[in-house]
Amino acid sequence: MALEDASKQVDQAFTRSDLRGLSYENAFGGATSFLRRRYAKDLAGVDLAITGIPFDQAVTHRPGTRFGPRAIREASALQPFDAPYGWGFNPLEQLAIVDYGDMAFDYANVAGVPERIRQHIAGIIAGGTGVVTLGGDHFITLPILRAVTEKHGPVALIQFDAHSDTWADDDDSRIDHGTFLYKAIRQGVVKADQVVSVGIRTDNPDTLGVTILDAPSVHRDGVDATVARIRAVVGDRPCYVTFDIDCLDPAFAPGTGTPVWGGLASWQAAAILRGLAGINLIGGDVVEVSPPYDTTGATAIAGAHVAMELICLYGWTRR
């Protein structure tokens, strides 16, 4: 059946009639929407929208994450043939998912980008549609969280990252991917005691009271203990997950702006995310995929898999 469908399907990003179901379009051809979902701006009846924010003007080192959403979409073409392994259900069959496309913005008006992001996300979730965002650098999470908390109220935050992103920055005009969490806490967007950061392995003495599960602790204590500690922080609160791809060791994700050795292996990240099944996830993002620094495409592949895991987490409580 799959081979027969592959010979007939092309450009499912535009031609698919059903928002649910697998796709057998050849992975190497056709228009590259995320998971071959249909591009759509009409969110009527849509459970979950995927959107890209190709912004990378807040980086401290290597740029290139503006190309992340496009690369993640291309990498995702490997996945829509089958249900995601190990979950026991297929969110592509059970959820109506669309690719909402990328956010439009004036690249030369950097100061206007934060509010543009907030409005973009607010417009998607206003009618009850969930959203998973493809970045872009990690700054984008701050205005996303503003939109999410305006809609849902206070949310717990799970951050996968090599860096705490809590370096002090009281200048609200600065746009910096390394201070998004500092500002989110100081501005009351999230509460420090409801934030847990996983995979940290750079020194920053002031983490503002955030629960830190650094990379050595994950390696030492294992997946089950890590999952239990995350759950203890977030409980049953509405929860947002932000996954900086540099949480993974550079061996697994070299295409990122500020790589740090000693990070999580892909299997650890996958096991932790799957161990979180049942959390009250209301949205998430994958950020800091920088294709110019990865000739193999492995980083974008990892980003596409993380995004799929976020879709599974979102769908788990909505089956």
pLDDT in tens, 65-99: 999 999 999 999 999 999 999 999 999 999 999 99
User: If phi over 0 gives left and psi between -120 and 50 gives alpha, with beta otherwise, what is residue 64?
Assistant: left
Distance CA 154, CA 133 (A): 19
Cα-based torsion angle of the residue sequence 135, 152, 273, 60 in order, rounded to the nearest 10 degrees: 30
Q: How many CB atoms lie within 10 A of CB 63?
A: 15
Q: Tell me, what's the pLDDT at 148?
A: 98
Q: Tell me, what's the pLDDT at 163?
A: 98
Residue 175 within any structural domain of the chain = no
Check if the beta carbon of residue 255 is closer than 8 Å to that of residue 303.
no
Distance CA 44, CA 29 (A): 29
Q: Tell me, what's the pLDDT at 7?
A: 87
* Burial of 89 per CB tally in 10 Å (0-12, 13-18, 19+): middle
Residue 77 within any structural domain of the chain = yes
Beta strand ranges found along the chain (DSSP E): 38-39, 48-53, 97-102, 130-135, 156-160, 195-198, 211-213, 238-244, 280-287
Check if the beta carbon of residue 66 is closer than 8 Å to that of residue 105.
no
Residue 133 within any structural domain of the chain = yes
Q: Are strands 211-213 and 48-53 parallel, antiparallel or unpaired?
A: unpaired
Whole-prediction pTM value? 0.97
Q: Tell me, what's the pLDDT at 205?
A: 87
Q: Tell me, what's the pLDDT at 3?
A: 60
User: Which of 111, 118, 115, 246 shows the shortest CA–CA distance to 175?
Assistant: 111
Distance CA 193, CA 118 (A): 24
Q: Tell me, what's the pLDDT at 4?
A: 59
Domain boundaries, position 25: 2-148+242-316
Please identify every stretch of the chain with a pLDDT value under 50, giving residue numbers as ranges.
none
Residue 284 within any structural domain of the chain = yes
* Burial of 268 per CB tally in 10 Å (0-12, 13-18, 19+): buried
78 CA to centre of own chain: 18
Q: Tell me, what's the pLDDT at 6?
A: 83
Distance CA 251, CA 258 (A): 13
Residue 35 within any structural domain of the chain = yes
Check if the beta carbon of residue 160 is closer than 8 Å to that of residue 288.
no
Residue 254 within any structural domain of the chain = yes
Q: Tell me, what's the pLDDT at 143?
A: 98
Q: Tell me, what's the pLDDT at 24?
A: 95
Residue 252 within any structural domain of the chain = yes
Residue 294 within any structural domain of the chain = yes
Check if the beta carbon of residue 169 is closer than 8 Å to that of residue 182.
yes
CATH number, domain containing residue 87: 3.40.800.10
Distance CA 264, CA 253 (A): 10
Backbone angles phi, psi at 184, to 5 degrees: -60, -40
Number of domains in the chain: 1
